[in-house]
Amino acid sequence: LYSDISPLLKDPAAFRTLIDLLEDHLRASFPKIDFIAGLDSRGFLIGPPVAQRLGIGFVLIRKKGKLPGPTESVSYALEYGKAELEIQSDAVEPGQKVVIVDDSGATGGTMCAACELLKRLEAEVLECLVVIELKPLKGSEKLKSVPFYSLLQYD
């Protein structure tokens, strides 16, 4: 089952409400965040407006081969095969506080890989945040000690 956020993106009032809700959650949960990290590709649609509202920067976590310059890379398993994610080596500094954002959380493989990349850069992952969580796939359980937040959950 694929959860499509396209209708949300087409409706400016609904999208504004989404960004409001995410901003409110992050402001209430964390006194200091240095960056929002967005996952390729729908995290790129949600993360920048949230980061802009919070007055912080946004960093990209992309599929392998899409980023310029030196990168850190990690391989991970998908429901249907394998993939690799990358982050630029200078995207964050050690100790900086980061929230990872994506549109949906399913099996947790991509989110775990993103956490691993940020760990290699010695950043502190405050939370993994998604709009939609597919609970039966138990992806949030794979994150272990990293807090996970979802606006909508489907059983």
CATH architecture under which domain 31-153 falls: 3-Layer(aba) Sandwich (3.40)
The Cα 34–Cα 58 span in angstroms is: 9
- 23, 42, 86, 122: the catalytic one is 42
Quote the pLDDT of residue 108. Answer: 87
For the stretch 114-138, pLDDT in tens is 999 999 999 999 999 999 999 877 7
Q: Is residue 79 annotated as a catalytic residue, yes or no?
A: yes
29 with 35: CB under 8 angstroms?
Answer: no
Predicted model pTM: 0.95
- 27, 79, 84, 133: the catalytic one is 79
Q: Is residue 93 annotated as a catalytic residue, yes or no?
A: no
Strand partners, 151: none
For the stretch 32-89, pLDDT in tens is 999 999 999 999 999 999 999 999 999 999 999 999 999 999 999 877 789 999 999 9
Mean pLDDT of the chain: 94
